[in-house]
């Protein structure tokens, strides 16, 4: 089956291949009239043009979100917001083929994987729906003389600016919009310029579900032209950001003007520790998938592999076999296990890391190159790559690659493995592979990472918090803690006598 754009957007208000963006419940062009292309990473061909917005468009979207925040939406009851989120979840289920197809076309993810995300994404929406009716404050016994009653309320923080990357457009949009709606905030979402189509489709579903005008706005544009004005905007109360650590740092600086609150889900360089007693049959594919899923374009990609010396050579050889057996191709091909990288720029970046690995002395066990045979020549394809003989000091062992590349290194003692695993500015995730339950907990407690997976990887659930330590950011997504990012605590005092 060949997937086409029309199949993914049959219900979308389209004019040829140009798209509009969604502000205050209406489909609009950029004030400047400028547009920008979004490309199919499997073929390099243009999929559509979207508005290339700037500060003036961000102003309009933020003003709409502010009006909506102070309007009737503010009086919606938690139960009404809950029903709205449940309707959105139902619509996502009905239109999942369009949503997943749009993700695949725009950022290259294999269709089988986009489709498989349905339960997780609709589950997220239903989880936030459930939380909408759990917002509570406290009554607090105070010690003032006389009779005073004091209590707290948890109130929506206000207008949220959400800036997301391209590697999981549907899930990233829902992780921002879901808690905003559950808490009664309003939101301006700025998708990545590399994959803006699904968030626009989501805006359409929001309107169909009955989200009031201005509550959810989607503004397309580049990071510098649209993202930065949103991060700086004095009318935005909170920025929720997912993306690279460097951009996260500029968002913090931009937030200083009005001291807006910020939460950040940033990059990673996640270590995997494989002990000699691990079940190798199960561990090889789990480690492989941790590094190669989504072509390694996942913040949690397991990219530093520490293997106990006694099994190192066998493990690396088996991982190389696993990598070579993966089918690389267009995301829309049902046989594809590994799709293209999102853009020519990303391809160039990843190939630069492959070159640096070789020139700094690492040994290529599998892959190590761009794929250009047949149809692959037109797209951004890289072979799943295993490097061995890697030193901790090498560029490929230190920097986030965001491509299908894993670097293997032997270790001798657990203390050494922990020390080397933690020797990174990042702290997003880690993996431990062992049959010894005591060792598993011991390692999990000592690793500096927001999430540690044992004998598994990528397990995510809306009820379970996710977020980084160190330069992987702060704030949690998922779990009941997630709502704290969108709420402020207000204290009320009453004099009773």
Nearest distance from C-beta of residue 28 to ligand NAD, angstroms: 19
In the bound state with ligand NAD, the residue whose beta carbon lies nearer, of 125 and 228, is: 228
The structure tokens 């490097």 sit at 387
In the bound state with ligand NAD, the residue whose beta carbon lies nearer, of 40 and 265, is: 265
Q: Does 303 bind ligand NAD (CB under 6 A)?
A: no
Choice from 178, 223, 235, 367 touching ligand NAD (CB under 6 A): 223
Choice from 190, 238, 269, 470 touching ligand NAD (CB under 6 A): 190
Torsional sign, CA 57, 72, 135, 181: negative
Q: Does 292 bind ligand NAD (CB under 6 A)?
A: no
Helix, strand, coil in percent for the chain, rounding step 5: 40, 20, 35
User: Mask of contacts with ligand NAD, 334-373, x by CB under 6 A?
Assistant: ----------------------------------------
* Residue 185 annotated as catalytic: no
* Residue 351 annotated as catalytic: no
Choice from 26, 79, 116, 224 touching ligand NAD (CB under 6 A): 224
Q: In whole angstroms, what is the distance from residue 406 CA to residue 315 CA? A: 13
Angle CA(181)–CA(186)–CA(190) in degrees, nearest 5? 105
Q: In whole angstroms, what is the distance from residue 265 CA to residue 276 CA? A: 33
Nearest distance from C-beta of residue 248 to ligand NAD, angstroms: 7
User: Mask of contacts with ligand NAD, 403-432, x by CB under 6 A?
Assistant: -------------------------x----
Q: Is 264 exposed, middle or buried (0-12, 13-18, 19+ CB in 10 A)?
A: buried
- Of 91-99, 198-206, 261-269, 272-280, the window that binds ligand NAD (rule: CB under 6 A) is 261-269
Nearest distance from C-beta of residue 283 to ligand NAD, angstroms: 24
Choice from 43, 49, 250, 356 touching ligand NAD (CB under 6 A): 250
The structure tokens 């980084």 sit at 468
Do the Cβ atoms of 51 and 28 come closer than 8 Å? yes
Q: Does 268 bind ligand NAD (CB under 6 A)?
A: yes
Q: What is the strand order of the sheet 429-433 is part of? A: 363-366, 385-388, 405-411, 302-308, 270-274, 429-433, 451-454
* Residues belonging to the chain: 497
HEC readout, 38-82:
EECCCCCCEEEEEECCCHHHHHHHHHHHHHHHHCHHHHCCHHHHH
In the bound state with ligand NAD, the residue whose beta carbon lies nearer, of 227 and 271, is: 227
Q: How far is CA 379 from the centre of its chain?
A: 23
Choice from 167, 217, 286, 295 touching ligand NAD (CB under 6 A): 167
Do the Cβ atoms of 54 and 221 come closer than 8 Å? yes
Nearest distance from C-beta of residue 165 to ligand NAD, angstroms: 3
470-489 residues near ligand NAD, rule: CB under 6 A: 473
Q: In whole angstroms, what is the distance from residue 439 CA to residue 432 CA? A: 9
Which residues contribute to the site for ligand NAD (CB under 6 A)?
A: 163-167, 190, 192-193, 222-224, 227-228, 231, 242-244, 247, 250-251, 265-268, 299, 400, 402, 428, 468, 473
The residues annotated with a catalytic role in the active site are 265, 299
């Amino acid at each position: 089956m060949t997937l086409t754009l029309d199949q993914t957007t049959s219900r979308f208000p389209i004019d040829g291949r140009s798209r509009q963006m969604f502000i205050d419940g209406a489909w609009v062009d950029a004030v400047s009239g400028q547009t920008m292309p979004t490309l199919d990473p499997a073929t390099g061909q243009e999929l559509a043009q979207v508005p290339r917005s700037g500060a003036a468009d961000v102003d309009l979207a933020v003003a709409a979100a502010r009006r909506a925040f102070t309007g009737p939406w503010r009086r919606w009851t938690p139960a009404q917001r809950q029903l709205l989120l449940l309707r959105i979840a139902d619509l996502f289920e009905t239109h999942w083929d369009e949503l997943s197809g749009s993700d695949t076309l725009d950022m290259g993810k294999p269709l089988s994987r986009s489709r498989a995300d349905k339960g997780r994404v609709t589950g997220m929406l239903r989880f936030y729906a459930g939380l909408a009716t759990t917002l509570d404050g406290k009554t607090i016994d105070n010690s003032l003389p006389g009779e005073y009653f004091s209590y707290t309320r948890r109130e929506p923080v206000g207008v949220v600016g959400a800036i997301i990357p391209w590697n999981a457009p549907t899930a990233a949009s829902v992780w921002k919009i879901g808690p905003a709606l559950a808490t009664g905030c309003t939101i301006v979402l700025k998708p990545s310029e590399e994959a803006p189509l699904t968030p626009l489709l989501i805006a359409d579903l929001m309107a169909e579900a009955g989200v009031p005008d201005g509550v959810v706005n989607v503004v397309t544009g580049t990071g510098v032209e649209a993202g930065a004005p949103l991060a700086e905007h004095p009318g935005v109360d909170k920025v929720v950001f997912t993306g690279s650590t460097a951009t996260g740092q500029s968002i913090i600086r931009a937030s200083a003007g009005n001291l807006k609150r910020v939460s950040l889900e940033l990059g990673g360089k996640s270590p995997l520790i494989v002990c000699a007693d691990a079940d190798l049959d199960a561990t090889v594919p789990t480690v492989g998938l941790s590094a190669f899923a989504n072509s390694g374009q996942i913040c949690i990609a397991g990219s530093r592999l520490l293997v106990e010396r006694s099994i190192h050579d066998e493990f690396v050889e088996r991982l190389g076999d696993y990598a070579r057996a993966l089918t690389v191709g267009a995301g829309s091909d049902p046989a594809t296990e590994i799709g293209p990288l999102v853009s020519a720029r990303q391809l160039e970046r990843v190939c630069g890391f492959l070159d640096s690995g070789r020139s700094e002395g690492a040994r290529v066990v599998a892959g190590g190159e761009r794929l250009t045979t047949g149809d692959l020549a037109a797209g951004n394809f890289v072979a799943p790559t295993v490097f061995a003989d890697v030193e901790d000091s090498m560029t490929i062992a230190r920097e986030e690659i965001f491509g299908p590349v894993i670097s293997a290194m032997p270790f001798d003692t657990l203390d050494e493995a922990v020390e080397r695993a933690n020797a990174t500015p990042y702290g997003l995730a880690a993996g431990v592979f062992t049959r010894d339950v005591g060792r598993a907990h011991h390692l999990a407690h000592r690793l500096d990472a927001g999430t540690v997976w044992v004998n598994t990887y990528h397990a995510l659930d809306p009820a379970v918090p996710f977020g980084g330590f160190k330069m992987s950011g702060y704030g949690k997504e998922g779990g009941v803690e997630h709502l704290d990012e969108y709420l402020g605590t207000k204290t009320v005092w009453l004099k009773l006598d």
